[in-house]
Amino acid sequence: MKQPKKNNILKDPPSDKYSKFLDFIKKRVLTGHILIIFGTLLLTLIMILINLQLGKFSLRNSLSSYKIGMVADRDVVVDRNLVYTDKKATKLKRNAKVKLVPSIFEIKEGIIDQVTKDFEKFKATIIDALSSDLSAGNTFLRVQLVIPGFGNEDIIKQLLKYNDPLSVLSESEKLLIGIEKSGIVAHTDRPEMRDFLASGQVEVWQWEGGSLKKKKVAVKDLINLKSINDTVDKLLAGSGYSNKDKNLIKAIVSEFAEEDCFLNKAETEKRRQKVYNGVEPVPGKLVKGQVIVRKGDIITDAIKNKINALGDYSFQINIKGITGTILFLIVIFMLAVYLLNEKIIGFYLQKEQIMLLAGLTLTYSALAVILFRVDGLADWLPFSVILPTATFAIMITILISGRAGIIFSLFMAFLLILVQQMNIYTFLFAFFSGIAASALVQKTEKRIDLVTAGLYMAGFDAGFLIILGFFKNYDFSKFMVVIGWGLGNGFLCSILSIGFLPVMEQIMNAPTRFRLMELSDLNSTAMKRMLALAPGTYNHSIIVANLGEFAAREIGANPLIARVGGYYHDIGKVDQAEYFVENQRSFNKHDELKPSLSAAVIRSHVKIGIEKAKELKLPRVIVDIIAQHHGKTLIKYFYQRAKEDKRNSKIAPEDYSYPGERPRSREAAVIMLADHVEAASRTLKRPSVAKLERIVWDIIIEKFNSGELNESELTLRDLEIIKKSFVQILAGYFHTRIEYPRINEASY
């Protein structure tokens, strides 16, 4: 039983938390709720991912047949806004960037060392020849011995006749080593080198003292074997040497110069690839509805590029997009599960209700995907105007609760964000349309009221679309269109709900307001049979129903459930009516039976009532009231008779108690109290308000003390309200009755 809340800052002890965790496992996991939710999540995800790719692969296959120069056999129209990579433009841009990358040339130090040694040998041989007065021919032979491959005898002849050969040799050596260190580039005349020199400059790498030095050199300033003489001329300009001296120096340098600067192709390609990869792709844009090529047109290179782009986009799988979709769907499922917990919606969802939510989620997702693929709406209209979102919200509201309907509307709107890829207007219309539908049908009493609600929904939807129109700057003609869509959507949703609700009520066996109103009809076959076979039980049930309905309304419980529960709570008595006191006129069959047998007969009406209720396909909440309206109450009359019988040595109270469940809802608890109060009040003599108050409160306190109300949700304040409600109703019923013995409660 729910007690008034107290201020308590102490946290639940660990044992309580552990028991709550076990209770969660038992309620959610072991009953299969998690499996239902996970299965729904998985199937919804599959449908949404199929929607993302649906039509793409078939489009790819159809587009791949188009070739440059052929005639298009149909119009190729872009089905959605698309930003793609213009491969041709991107390639041109990347190639242009690559051409600007300086090639890397590396100077080989070993070649410089070898050139230096050869020149030192040559210089020593010339000096030795000058001192020994050798002939030019003998000197040439000596030079060839120390420097294989030397072939310019004319240089030796000129040096041996020169006035100052050492000066020329020193200058030549200085220039030669300087040029070699600057780098004499190899193979510059080869065709394949043109691409590597296209940037206009190169980067020269040289190792000096164990460290790598890099310098940028313009291609026009590069030195090769063909440009050695020009380089020497530039270096000797203004030096004071005569032309004869310059020519000899150039001849010497040219003879000893070796190519020592070579293209480092590996490093150059590596740098080029990095630049190539770093260039941002050139975007191209295709707009939804854009005609790439019309039937009968010749496919050009530019058109083919666009067709390829459309086909490539259709074929590709967007890993990031799929990951985002999965995470987003998981988040909204977790949000929905949290919002649908009993603390927020006010009650614990049964397995059937969770299955209903799962089924409607899958149905709505499938419907959204299908309609999205065949959608012929203009871009400026929200896609959700063609979806019966309000129908789903109405069914959830009526079959489960208004809060569940609003939460489900939010959930459906989020699903549409995934289906139409983050369209905020689609989300807003679906969400507010669902909320309006849930709010409008919460108080409906008759099915025809749904038509009235549909008219209000039509007006709301049209008004909301008009507001969106102002944000999107519609012209007058568009406003007329959205008004039409809004009116049509709202009214059609109410008509669809009228058609589908009876079917869903039967499938779910749900205690909807409409179903309960139908069950409360006293002209039903079951109630007529009760009137004919058990008139006392019939009258008793009518009074219990009235007591329960009035009390339930006063404490904020469901009066319709209490009313129907009151009508049917004793349906198990009909086939054995003569065994129950309210149907007996003069002869009491229990006078001939043992107390144990009498108690068994009395107890059986609960079990029989449950079976009858299931045969009549009564809602589960009514079956629960039938099963719980006596709880585990002791049948005192026959228990007392059994104790008075001296032949019975051992009497167990359990054998004379109802084997049912204690009330677990406020409605069931109210019917239990109403049942016992009505039965007891019939024994009152000269009933007055004071007597009624006393007997009603005594019964309530007795049930409270015996623990029969512990599992219900009634508070002490509720019990006080129930007492006043019962007294108010009973005061108008009774005339003179026999006096009620307090110890003899007629609980059967």
Any idea which of 306-315, 471-480, 617-626, 668-677 has the lowest mean pLDDT? 306-315
- DSSP state string for 508-537: HT---HHHHHHHT-TTSHHHHHHHHH-HHH
Q: What is the pLDDT of residues 521-568, one digit of tens each?
A: 888 888 899 888 888 889 999 999 999 999 999 998 889 999 999 999
How far apart are the C-alpha atoms of 613 and 626, rounded to whole Å?
8
Q: Look at residue 193 and tell me whether its pLDDT is greater than 90.
A: no
Instruction: Tell me how far CA of residue 209 lies from CA of 179, 213, 484, 581, in angstroms.
Output: 19, 10, 86, 119
- Give the residue with greater pLDDT, 560 vs 740: 560
Provide CB contacts within 8 A for 274, sequence distance 6+: none
Report the pLDDT value the prediction gives residue 600, as an integer from 0 to 100.
80
Q: Which domains does the chain have, with CATH numbers?
A: 319-499 (1.10.1760.20), 515-730 (1.10.3210)
For the entire predicted model, the pTM comes to 0.60
How far apart are the C-alpha atoms of 419 and 368, rounded to whole Å?
7
Could you tell me the pLDDT band of residue 368, with boundaries at 50, 70 and 90?
Answer: confident
Region 460-468: mean pLDDT is 88
How far apart are the C-alpha atoms of 696 and 664, rounded to whole Å?
21
How far apart are the C-alpha atoms of 66 and 59, rounded to whole Å?
12
Residue 525: count of CB within 10 angstroms of its CB? 8
Report the pLDDT value the prediction gives residue 671, as an integer from 0 to 100.
92
Provide CB contacts within 8 A for 325, sequence distance 6+: 45, 48, 49, 52, 418
How far apart are the C-alpha atoms of 143 and 127, rounded to whole Å?
12
Region 12-16: mean pLDDT is 47
Q: Look at residue 590 and tell me whether its pLDDT is greater than 80.
A: no
Could you tell me the pLDDT band of residue 12, with boundaries at 50, 70 and 90?
Answer: very low
Q: Which helix (H) or strand (E) holds 106?
A: strand 103-107
* Token representation of residue 249: 């120096």
Exposed (0-12), middle (13-18) or buried (19+): which is 683, by Cβ within 10 Å?
middle
Report the pLDDT value the prediction gives residue 424, as an integer from 0 to 100.
84
Report residue 204: phi and psi, to 5°.
Answer: -100, 125
* Token representation of residue 141: 């032979």
The one-letter amino acid at 258:
E
Report residue 736: phi and psi, to 5°.
Answer: -65, 130
Contact between 197 and 188 (Cβ < 8 Å)? yes
Give, as one character, the DSSP assignment of residue 202.
Answer: E
How far apart are the C-alpha atoms of 719 and 703, rounded to whole Å?
11
User: Which of 407-411, 447-451, 688-692, 712-716 is predicted most confidently?
Assistant: 407-411
- Give the residue with greater pLDDT, 731 vs 265: 265
Could you tell me the pLDDT band of residue 14, with boundaries at 50, 70 and 90?
Answer: very low
* Token representation of residue 747: 């609980």
Question: What are 262's strand-pairing partners?
Answer: 106
Report the pLDDT value the prediction gives residue 25, as an integer from 0 to 100.
47
Q: What is the pLDDT of residues 477-521, one digit of tens each?
A: 888 888 888 899 888 998 998 888 888 888 877 888 888 888 888
